[in-house]
């Protein structure tokens, strides 16, 4: 290596681990070596080029075993042993392969033209030699180049954002090409470069980027910018990725980090996992069976013919085999081995018609028609509000939709709308918010209670998007006189400061908009605004809030020192700020209750009491179906922060190795000794039609597993509200929280013992549940609810089989507090059992689950399009699963399977007639059909009918399929394509072959005549008759099996037979040297004979009679489900009534009135929770162990602090004598939490069995549970004079509850 040459970072395999980029590096003496080491920016997405097209395209076609077979047959047809002319085998093969390869070439040429257009796009690039910007093509851009991108242009490569024309150094980008999201993202340039203009970079010679190697992580970036002796950490918010578009910004300047195929968009271009349907796998087995049958026929023929030639042919002097030489050596009796070999080759070619050459082409055509013509255009799956139709992203799995046994579903955004509203809260142990959620309404109606439906007049004026809260103790200035206004003020301040939200638009309360990572964040900031803490401005390192407090209204500026990001491991998010007015350093922290409780200050007296009351309120909120979040804060010691913690933070943030884990470890040290403020409760409404959809799916025999990150009590109550859980179900709960031995081991720090006990607890629960299920009567319905920690043990190698066994016996399984990895693991567990699984979700955290299942369905919702882009099918609402599965899935399954069975049936019938006739000729290779129309059997004369079956076949109408969802179980049982169904079709073909051979060979004996001229039957005349009978018979078979006639059936059935006779007329008119055996055969000999037309009618009918009688007996004695429904439909049609007439007027659904999509009004009073109630029973508060699910998206606001660290990494003011966080204060042990029984479930099984009565602490907690959600100061409800007795009774109940 030349002296001074840069040492390129080591590559692991082909992956580069680290990279050094010299920006605008013309002075670098080894620039060319750098350019050779890093890939250029030219890209190609084509599969082929001029030289590789033929071999690669042929390789793609010969991945199908059938194509290999037909090529072998075509090659053998060139040998002297072939019984047919070579062109009759090569023609269909060339047509099939040629069409497929032309299609491949056309598609690849489109990709080539698109690549050429992209590579030749123009962009301004800095010329280091002249210091001027020159126009270059994208393909000429290199790593380290400075480029200028203008408004609405795409970024040519992955760039480090250096500056823009805005004062803040920001720009807006659209990432739709990356993740499908259309909302704009904000990006921020480093503070050191944001004020430079584009010409200032001409002298930008000594800047270097040290970063990770190319990788596929779209939302992560680890790197530093070395500039003027400073090491500046680069945030992902400063990275502009190729494929994104610049919006709302005139111009930006960036430095190329990754180019061409090393950019993140190309690193993410890996193909999705290949999925094949169960039907396709069965088709492969049938084809192998047909191959086995073919080889059996060939071996039988070869052995018999070699023996016959050796021992019997010499006795037949007229054959002349004794003197066979040259091309007739294959008939020489003296060489039986060669005779057998030649006979095998002849039979191999002759019996090739057993394998349907057009099967794959027809299946592909039918599946495309089903996807594009039916699924994509179904109005019942069109969502008008978002203008979103259903989309089949692949056509390979249409029939799999009709065989689903288990649905694995996300909750948030899938069952719910992911439209969050701030609904209730608890501050300093006092619950606030008088609203009634959808879940509370549904549960009250199940109990037969009627809730007060009168709206409070003052509530409406406070309602806005993301905020649906009312409590007269907090609204306006009412909280000034509350019991603890200081805590309330700090609670509101945390809502306004602890976030990464970006304000947008005018800075007035009515017009401002917030760009947030999630709807939860936006709801909390809007709530702060409604309470008088209006966040309206954010700069690189500051947040400004207009605070309305008892001291007056003032704009308060907070300096944001650090943001400790949320992820699925931490389950919390923190912000370290400094109040500029008094220089206090405060950390605000919000997250899951379990992680917040573990970090509370044990020496702060109010914490313990507040934790008890807050836990109680969170359970109540969870029972109402609300999403809860704990809020806390602490004052930080300035000296410790500046001299101890901050250096560690800087080192972690600038580390190039394992940066994320190091930052997490440092964050742990400051998130201690917190003071609890309370909790928030946000409502996420159920989607429209979810309860009815789940009920329909349950009636269709589909099990539903819900995998959610919510708390157990929230998931249970939502499960009841959406009909996933019902009163008739025996519910079992598996949890490891609240078990005394486990808690003791955890407190003692004995992690290994705690894990052993937890494992034993889950094993005991699974065993007990299985025993209980076995003891119940047949027909009992079960449901299991399991939390994430218990699930991690249930998925272990020794417990997974037992967990799956009990799970498959349940109608519903709810897995709470699960991570994205656990979702994929559960899906794999069910899939590997053999069940056909369908996974449905809407977010990036559902991608693993979607790709793991047999079928992945993405919902285009509030969390972007990541799930849709990874899915096989995309829909806008969960309720659309009903038409997707019960209509399209069922139809596609039946159509595809019937089409495939018809293919094998007709080919078996045709191929066996050839075999039998050859057997009558001592397996000499003699055939009765002309070789040309033998070739056309699959590709012309019987090609249209199976396609029509695959596209138009239907047993019952759509409305009847939805009215009787039990019909779907036929697909689950695979009734149409199991061994019995396949065997019956093939046996039917064997029987019909026998009938045809007997009738034709006996009725057309060569000693018989069928006309006045006395001419006997010839072999080719007999062949035409037999072929005609085969063509008519296979189409008559279709006439028997179809349930509903339509015009495409008439066209296919009758036109196919007419084409056969037209072919005989046309082909027989060709010259003798071409038409050979068929010359004038049909017109001159076959057609004039009346026996031919008689046999064409008689023989097919004789073939169909047994099948017809068997079907009639089955229909009368033991009909299929669809047969009964079809008869009901026919009866209605004959009576001239519609399905709606037959159903009658259905009463409106109770749930339909609740889940109507309207905003819940803050009205009325919720009756006390009855501890014995089946509907409001709660699980232990210890069953909460996770927070929001991390999607991997990092907010651009976080980058501001990274830039500030470079300028002043240890910024702080003078020390204040404030109580704060000491680095030496040990972490308090996690609090002991008891396991409360679930009163709703009669079969609640604790993980471990303990003797004795329940603990007094638990009893005290239960007794102290709040009875009402309404304001304590609410006046008694006096009935008006005109009130009826029922209204007076209801109001008396409410008044009594208030007094209690």
Residue 839 dihedral angles phi and psi, to the nearest 5°? -105, 135
Q: From the CB of residue 480, how many other CB atoms can be counted at a distance below 10 Å?
A: 14
Give the residue from 148, 160, 172 showing the smallest Cα distance to 222.
Answer: 160
DSSP-assigned letters across all residues of 312-356: TGGG-GGG-GGG--GGGGGG-TT-HHHHHHHHHHHHHHHGGGGS-
The backbone region for 704, taken as left when phi is positive above 0, alpha when psi lies in -120 to 50, beta otherwise, is: beta
723: left (phi over 0), alpha (psi -120 to 50) or beta: left
At what angle are helices 606-623 and 712-721 packed, to 10 degrees?
20
Specify the 3-state DSSP secondary structure of 785.
Answer: strand
Chain length of the chain: 1300
The H-or-E segment that residue 715 falls in is helix 712-721
How far is Cα 102 from Cα 331, in angstroms, rounded to an integer? 43
Nearest to 178 by CA among 772, 748, 869: 869
Cα 1027 from chain centre:
49
The number of C-alpha atoms within 13 Å of 740 and in the hemisphere containing its C-beta is 7
* CA–CA separation, 516 and 865 (whole Å): 17
Say how far apart CA 543 and CA 537 lie, in whole Å.
6
832 assigned to active site: no
Nearest alpha carbon to residue 880 among 223, 562, 407: 407
Q: Which residues contact 826 (CB under 8 A, 6 or more apart)?
A: 408, 705, 707, 791, 795, 815, 818, 849
Helix ranges (DSSP H) in 351-484:
359-369, 438-446
Distances in whole angstroms, Cα of residue 1117 to Cα of each of 982, 1109, 1114: 22, 12, 5
Q: Which residue has the tokens 């006045």?
A: 1012
586 alpha-carbon distance from chain centroid: 42
Q: Tell me which H or E stretch contains 136.
A: strand 132-137
* Phi and psi angles of residue 532, each rounded to the nearest 5 degrees, phi first: 105, 10
Catalytic-labelled residue, pool 108, 158, 191, 410: 410
766 neighbors 760 (Cβ within 8 angstroms): no
- Cα first-last separation, the chain: 87
Backbone angles phi, psi at 1215, to 5 degrees: -75, 140
3-state secondary structure 743-783: HHHHHCCCHHHHHHHHHHHHHHHHHHHHHHHHHCCCCCCEE
3-state helix, strand, coil in the chain (%, to 5): 45, 15, 35
Q: Is 1129 helix (H, G, I), strand (E, B) or coil?
A: helix
286, 284, 359, 295: which is closest to 65 by C-alpha? Answer: 284
Cα separation, 451 vs 1163, in Å, equals: 9
* Cα separations in angstroms, 977 against 66, 283, 362, 421, 1036: 21, 10, 18, 49, 21
DSSP state of 1142: H
3-state secondary structure of 56: helix
Are the beta carbons of 1033 and 910 closer than 8 angstroms?
no
Token pair for 586 = 């405060």
Could you give the angle at which helices 1047-1068 and 944-952 cross, rounded to 10 degrees? 170
Angle value at C-alpha 169, between 165 and 172, nearest 5 degrees: 80
Instruction: Give the catalytic positions in this structure.
Output: 410
């Amino acid at each position: 290596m030349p002296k001074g040459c840069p040492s390129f970072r080591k590559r692991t395999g082909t992956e580069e681990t680290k990279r050094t980029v010299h920006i605008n590096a013309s002075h670098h003496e080894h620039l060319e070596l750098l350019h050779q080491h890093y890939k250029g920016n030219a890209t190609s997405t084509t599969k082929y080029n001029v030289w590789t097209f033929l071999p690669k395209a042929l390789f793609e076609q010969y991945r199908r075993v059938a194509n290999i077979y037909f090529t072998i047959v075509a090659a053998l047809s060139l040998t002297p042993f072939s019984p047919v002319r070579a062109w009759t085998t090569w023609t269909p093969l060339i047509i099939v392969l040629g069409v497929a390869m032309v299609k491949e070439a056309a598609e690849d040429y489109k990709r080539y033209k698109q690549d050429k257009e992209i590579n030749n796009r123009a962009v301004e690039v800095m010329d280091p030699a002249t210091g001027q910007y020159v126009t270059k093509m994208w393909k000429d851009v290199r790593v380290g180049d400075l480029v200028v991108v203008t408004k609405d242009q795409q970024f040519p490569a992955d760039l480090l954002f250096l500056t823009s024309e805005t004062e803040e150094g920001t720009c807006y980008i659209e990432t739709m090409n990356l993740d499908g999201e259309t909302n704009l993202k904000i990006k921020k340039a480093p503070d050191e470069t944001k004020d430079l203009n584009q010409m200032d970079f001409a002298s930008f010679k000594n800047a270097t980027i040290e970063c990770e190697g190319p990788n596929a992580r779209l939302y992560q970036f680890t790197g530093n910018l070395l500039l003027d002796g400073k090491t500046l950490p680069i945030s992902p918010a400063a990275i502009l990725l190729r494929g994104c578009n610049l919006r709302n910004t005139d111009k930006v300047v960036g430095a190329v980090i990754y180019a061409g195929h090393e950019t993140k968009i190309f690193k993410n271009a890996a193909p999705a996992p290949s999925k094949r349907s169960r039907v396709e796998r069965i088709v492969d087995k049938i084809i192998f069976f047909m191959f086995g049958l073919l080889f059996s026929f060939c071996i039988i023929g070869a052995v018999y013919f070699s023996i016959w030639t050796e021992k019997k042919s010499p006795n037949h002097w007229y054959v002349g085999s004794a003197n066979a030489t040259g091309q007739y050596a294959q008939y020489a009796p003296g060489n039986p081995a060669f005779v057998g070999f030649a006979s095998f080759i002849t039979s191999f070619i002759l019996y090739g018609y057993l394998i349907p050459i057009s099967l794959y082409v027809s299946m592909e055509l039918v599946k495309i028609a089903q996807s594009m013509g039916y699924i994509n255009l179904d109005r019942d799956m069109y969502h008008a509000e978002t203008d979103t139709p259903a989309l089949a992203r692949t056509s390979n799995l249409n029939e799999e939709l009709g065989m689903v046994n288990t649905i694995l579903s996300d909750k948030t955004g899938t069952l719910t709308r992911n439209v969050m509203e701030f609904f209730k809260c608890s501050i300093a142990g006092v619950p606030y918010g008088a609203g009634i959620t959808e879940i509370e309404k549904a549960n009250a109606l199940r109990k037969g209670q009627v809730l007060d439906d009168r709206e409070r007049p003052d509530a409406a004026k406070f309602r806005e998007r993301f905020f649906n809260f009312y409590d007269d103790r907090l609204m306006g200035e009412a909280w000034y006189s509350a019991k603890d206004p200081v805590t309330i003020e700090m609670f509101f301040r945390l809502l306004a400061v602890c976030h990464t939200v970006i304000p947008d638009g005018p800075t007035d309360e009515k017009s401002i908009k917030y760009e947030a990572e999630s709807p939860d964040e936006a709801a909390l900031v809007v709530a702060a605004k409604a309470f008088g803490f209006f966040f309206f401005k954010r700069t690189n390192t500051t947040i400004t809030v207009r605070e309305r407090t008892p001291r007056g209204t003032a704009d308060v500026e907070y300096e944001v020192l650090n943001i400790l990001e949320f992820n699925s491991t931490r389950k919390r998010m923190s912000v370290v700020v400094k109040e500029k007015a008094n220089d206090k350093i405060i950390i605000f922290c919000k997250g899951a209750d379990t992680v917040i409780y573990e970090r509370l200050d044990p020496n702060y007296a109010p914490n313990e009491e507040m934790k008890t009351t807050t836990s109680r309120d969170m359970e109540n909120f969870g029972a109402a179906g609300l999403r809860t979040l704990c809020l806390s804060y602490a004052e930080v010691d300035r000296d410790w922060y500046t001299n101890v913690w901050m250096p560690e933070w800087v080192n972690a943030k600038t580390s190039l190795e394992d940066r994320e884990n190091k930052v997490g470890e440092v964050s742990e040290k400051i998130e201690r000794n917190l003071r609890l403020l309370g909790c928030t409760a946000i409502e996420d409404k159920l989607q429209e039609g979810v309860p009815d959809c789940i009920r329909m799916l349950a009636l269709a025999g589909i099990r539903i597993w819900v995998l959610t990150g919510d708390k157990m009590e929230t998931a249970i109550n939502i499960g009841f509200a959406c009909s996933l859980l019902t009163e008739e179900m025996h519910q079992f709960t598996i949890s490891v929280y609240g078990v005394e031995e486990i808690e003791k081991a955890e407190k003692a720090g004995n992690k290994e013992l705690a894990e052993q006990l937890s494992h034993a607890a889950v094993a005991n629960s699974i065993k007990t549940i299985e025993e209980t299920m076995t003891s119940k009567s047949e027909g009992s319905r079960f449901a299991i609810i399991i939390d994430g920690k218990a699930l991690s043990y249930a998925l272990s190698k020794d417990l997974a089989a037992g967990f799956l066994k009990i799970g498959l016996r349940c109608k519903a399984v709810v897995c709470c507090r699960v991570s994205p990895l656990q979702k994929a693991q559960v899906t794999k567990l069910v899939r590997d059992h053999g069940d056909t699984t369908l996974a449905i979700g809407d977010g990036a955290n559902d991608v693993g689950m979607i790709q793991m299942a047999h079928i992945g369905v993405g919902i285009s919702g509030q969390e972007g399009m990541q799930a849709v882009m990874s899915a096989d099918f995309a829909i806008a609402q969960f309720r659309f699963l009903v038409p997707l599965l019960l209509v399209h899935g069922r139809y596609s399954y039946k159509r595809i399977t019937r089409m495939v069975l018809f293919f094998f049936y007709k080919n078996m019938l045709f191929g066996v007639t050839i075999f039998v006739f050859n057997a009558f000729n001592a397996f000499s290779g003699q055939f009765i059909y002309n070789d040309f129309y033998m070739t056309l059997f699959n590709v012309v004369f019987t090609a249209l009918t199976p396609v029509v079956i695959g596209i138009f076949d239907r047993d019952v109408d759509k409305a009847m399929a939805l009215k009787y969802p039990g019909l779907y179980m036929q697909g689950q049982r695979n009734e149409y394509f199991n061994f019995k169904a396949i065997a019956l079709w093939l046996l039917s073909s064997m029987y019909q072959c026998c009938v045809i051979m007997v009738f034709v060979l006996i009725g057309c004996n060569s000693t018989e005549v069928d006309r006045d001229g006395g001419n006997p039957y010839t072999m080719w005349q007999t062949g035409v008759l037999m072929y005609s009978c085969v063509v008519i018979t296979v189409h008559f078979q279709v006439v028997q099996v179809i349930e509903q006639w339509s015009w495409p059936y008439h066209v296919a059935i009758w036109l196919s037979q007419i084409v056969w006779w037209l072919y005989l007329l046309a082909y027989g008119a060709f010259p003798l040297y071409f038409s050979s055996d068929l010359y004038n055969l049909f017109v001159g000999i076959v057609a004039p004979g009346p026996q031919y037309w008689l046999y064409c009618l008689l023989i097919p009918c004789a073939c169909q009679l047994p099948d017809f009688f068997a079907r009639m007996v089955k229909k009368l004695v033991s009909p299929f489900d669809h047969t009964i429904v079809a008869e009901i439909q026919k009866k209605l049609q004959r009576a001239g009534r519609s399905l709606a007439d037959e159903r009658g007027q259905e009463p409106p659904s109770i749930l339909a009135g609740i889940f109507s999509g309207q905003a819940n009004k803050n009205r009325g009073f919720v009756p006390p929770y009855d501890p014995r109630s089946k509907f409001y029973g709660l699980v232990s508060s210890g069953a909460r162990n996770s927070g929001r699910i991390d999607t991997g998206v990092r907010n651009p606001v976080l980058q501001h602090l990274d830039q500030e660290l470079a300028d002043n990494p240890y910024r702080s003011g003078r020390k204040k004598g404030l109580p704060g966080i000491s680095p030496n204060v040990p972490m308090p042990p996690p609090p002991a939490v008891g396991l409360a029984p679930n009163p709703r479930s009669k079969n609640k099984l604790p993980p471990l069995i303990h003797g004795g009565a329940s603990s007094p602490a638990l009893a005290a907690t239960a007794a102290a549970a709040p009875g009402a959600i309404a304001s304590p100061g609410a006046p008694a409800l006096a009935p008006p004079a005109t009130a009826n007795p029922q209204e007076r009774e209801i109001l008396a109940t409410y008044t009594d509850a208030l007094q209690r």
